[in-house]
Amino acid sequence: MKYKLVSCGFVAFMLLLFAASTSLAHEVNISGAARLGNGPIIDAGTYRIELVKNQDSSEAVFYHGNDEVTRAPVTLVSEPSKARRTEVWSNVQDEGRVITQIRLQGSKEALFFEQAREDSE
């Protein structure tokens, strides 16, 4: 009986380790300072990005080392195939470079950052 209890504990521990290693964290390189959609500005550098999926919204959280740098709301869009590499899409606007989309390696979801709506006159 004691052997079964130890075996079950070991299996549970290994499953916990596996779940921790398959988190939604990816590394992304931002080549120059840019605004994340209509949200915060992020400086050039290499960041760990985690996707936080809530019931009615999602956020991209950027970390440098263990320190949280910024958060930005994202819209997740399902793509037909997994991304072969991490890609950062941006536009140059009046206020500078704006990141519009990030595709994470191995993911079928694209992260779209909210864009400021242009007022029509």
How far is Cα 95 from Cα 98, in angstroms, rounded to an integer?
Answer: 8
List the chain residues with pLDDT less than 50.
6, 14-23, 119-121
**Segments in the chain forming alpha helices (H):** 2-21
Express each pLDDT in 55-90 by its tens digit. 888 999 999 999 999 999 999 999 999 999 999 999
CB atoms within 10 A of CB 110: 18
Confidence at residue 66, expressed as pLDDT on a 0 to 100 scale: 93
Confidence at residue 1, expressed as pLDDT on a 0 to 100 scale: 57
With tokens 């070991």, the residue in question is 10
How far is Cα 118 from Cα 112, in angstroms, rounded to an integer?
Answer: 17
Domain ranges in the chain are 24-113
Strand partners, 61: 50, 71
* pTM, full prediction: 0.74
Confidence at residue 94, expressed as pLDDT on a 0 to 100 scale: 84
